[in-house]
């Protein structure tokens, strides 16, 4: 519950000492987010995503070879559902952490800070578990209407949701402190390595590699990765935040995070609807080929992710300090950091896409031309940089939610029109059109927001790329 006492006033001599200690820690924390440190953090996030892509290049082709295209297609379809809901069941608290943690540090609101660091994670764990049980109930209700081959994999996907949600929330907390490795390593490095190790052990033991066995390995890997992340974050928080009483302001936290969650929900729907609709009209082999191409395109997509993962705190810091001009210039730099590496990634994939797809199996090379189609949409998104993060820091969560809703509706409609006629090509074109629409609208919303900062901000936005 919210506490009625002033948020920035120590309530006892011990609180005063803790407040002073926190301000000392805050000085160290703030130093982490200088331009040089942010560049290193962005570089660290980028390297982690590069390593993640490299692991995917190893893991996904091996899984495809071991499982065969049909089983791999079933796995791709079910895992897409897991990724979709796993990215939403934090209910926006991951992004909200990047607002409240700097704010509470800056105001020395230690009780609320401690409450958020604990309460956000327990709330996510409970809510994600409820969501998993609800999803399992829906599967049970419609089980007779589903393909029998996907029923058990779908139940296993439900089991991953509590751990995915907790990992996403902890990701936001870790990024708020600049702990990029703690934020990204569990989901993007440790979990896929554990999945590969478990599936390989089963394969060498003589067990068949199926969608069921791979998803069971995913459940075990998720538990281990998130448990390790929990322990490391708790250890670091004990060194960063003084122990003491906790105040819980769930009304404020959820009120701020729900619009973010809605925006995130449509963002994830926009990202995954093509695979889900493709499963309706095309055989598992086509789903497998399209999924493999998407994994390659992660080389481009993670550039945007890595920049967005590191600049959100700086956006919040500059906004809180009233440095609107500096914020506009920093956003311009973040766009350049996003655009040019993304363009280089597209060039690499166009040059090496055919042999990389061959690693999945000879039938997968037929998806090479999809790289060029999907690259257009990803470059449109890269051109506007982390615009949605900037808008959220200005309190424009609802505007972001509307943008993603419209883009998702565009993608969904185009998928139902184009996929039955053109197959995987229709899915790729649908996603690209939706990303272009999203990027154009975000650009104009961001430009309009920064117009209020003066002519310097406008020129910066227009000349960022």
What is the mean predicted confidence (pLDDT) over 410-434? 96
**351 or 454, which is more confident?**
351
What is the reported pLDDT for 257?
83
What is the reported pLDDT for 196?
92
Q: Residue 11 pLDDT > 60, yes or no?
A: no
pLDDT-derived band at 241 (thresholds 50, 70, 90) equals: confident
End-to-end Cα spacing for the chain = 46
What is the reported pLDDT for 230?
94
Rounded CA-CA distance 71/209 in Å is 8
Give per-residue pLDDT as tens, 300-353. Answer: 887 887 788 678 767 877 776 777 788 888 899 999 999 999 999 999 999 999
Give per-residue pLDDT as tens, 330-345. Answer: 899 999 999 999 999 9
Percent of the chain with pLDDT over 70: 86
Mean pLDDT across the chain? 83
**289 or 264, which is more confident?**
289
For the whole model, what pTM was predicted? 0.72
What is the mean predicted confidence (pLDDT) over 21-26? 39
What is the mean predicted confidence (pLDDT) over 178-200? 90
What is the reported pLDDT for 457?
44
What is the mean predicted confidence (pLDDT) over 407-423? 95
What is the reported pLDDT for 344?
93
Q: Residue 24 pLDDT > 50, yes or no?
A: no
What is the reported pLDDT for 88?
82
Closest CA relative to residue 444, chosen from 431, 455, 430, 458: 458
pLDDT-derived band at 158 (thresholds 50, 70, 90) equals: very high
What is the reported pLDDT for 458?
43
Rounded CA-CA distance 44/40 in Å is 6
* Listed range (30-39, 212-221, 392-401, 437-446) with the worst mean pLDDT: 30-39
Q: Residue 5 pLDDT > 60, yes or no?
A: no
pLDDT-derived band at 40 (thresholds 50, 70, 90) equals: low
**202 or 10, which is more confident?**
202
Give per-residue pLDDT as tens, 112-148. Answer: 889 999 999 999 999 999 999 999 999 999 998 888 9
What is the reported pLDDT for 39?
54
What is the mean predicted confidence (pLDDT) over 426-440? 96
**310 or 391, which is more confident?**
391
């Amino acid at each position: 519950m919210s506490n009625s006492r002033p948020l920035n006033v120590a309530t006892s001599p011990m609180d005063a000492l803790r407040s002073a200690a926190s301000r000392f820690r805050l000085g160290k924390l703030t130093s982490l987010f200088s331009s040089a440190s942010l560049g290193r953090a962005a570089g660290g996030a980028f390297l982690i995503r590069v390593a993640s892509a490299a692991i995917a290049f190893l893991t996904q082709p091996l899984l495809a070879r071991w499982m065969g295209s049909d089983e791999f297609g079933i796995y791709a379809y079910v895992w897409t559902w897991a990724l979709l809901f796993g990215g939403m069941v934090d209910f926006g608290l991951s992004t909200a952490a990047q607002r409240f943690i700097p704010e509470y540090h800056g105001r020395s609101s230690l009780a609320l800070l401690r409450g958020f660091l604990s309460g956000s994670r327990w709330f996510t764990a409970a809510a994600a578990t409820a969501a998993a049980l609800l999803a399992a109930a829906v599967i049970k209700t419609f089980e007779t209407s589903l393909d029998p081959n996907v029923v058990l994999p779908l139940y296993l996907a439900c089991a991953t949701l509590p751990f995915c949600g907790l990992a996403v929330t902890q990701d936001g907390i870790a990024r708020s402190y600049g702990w990029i490795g703690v934020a990204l390593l569990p989901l993007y490095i440790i979990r896929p390595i554990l999945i590969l190790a478990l599936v390989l052990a089963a394969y060498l033991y003589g067990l068949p590699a199926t969608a069921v066995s791979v998803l069971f390995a995913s459940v075990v890997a998720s538990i281990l990765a998130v448990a390790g992340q929990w322990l490391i974050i708790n250890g670091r928080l004990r060194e960063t935040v003084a122990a003491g009483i906790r105040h819980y302001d769930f009304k404020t936290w959820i009120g701020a995070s729900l619009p973010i969650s809605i925006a995130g929900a449509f963002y994830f729907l926009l990202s995954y609807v093509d695979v889900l609709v493709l499963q309706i009209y095309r055989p598992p082999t086509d789903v497998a080929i399209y999924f493999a191409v998407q994994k390659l395109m992660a080389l481009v997509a993670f550039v945007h992710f890595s920049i967005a993962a590191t600049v959100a705190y700086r956006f919040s810091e500059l906004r809180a300090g009233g440095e609107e001009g500096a914020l506009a210039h920093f956003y311009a730099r973040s766009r350049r950091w996003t655009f040019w590496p993304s363009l280089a990634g597209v060039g690499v994939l166009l040059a090496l896409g055919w042999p990389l797809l061959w690693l999945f199996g000879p039938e997968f090379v037929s998806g090479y031309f999809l790289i060029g189609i999907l690259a257009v949409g990803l470059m449109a998104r890269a051109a506007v940089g982390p615009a949605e993060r900037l808008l959220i820091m200005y309190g424009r969560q609802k505007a972001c939610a509307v943008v993603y809703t419209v883009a998702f509706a565009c993608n969904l409609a185009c998928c139902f029109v184009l996929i039955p006629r053109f197959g995987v090509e229709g899915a790729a074109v649908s996603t690209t059109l939706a990303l272009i629409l999203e990027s154009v609208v975000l650009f104009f919303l961001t430009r309009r927001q920064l117009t209020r900062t003066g002519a310097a901000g406008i020129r910066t936005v227009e000349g960022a790329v």
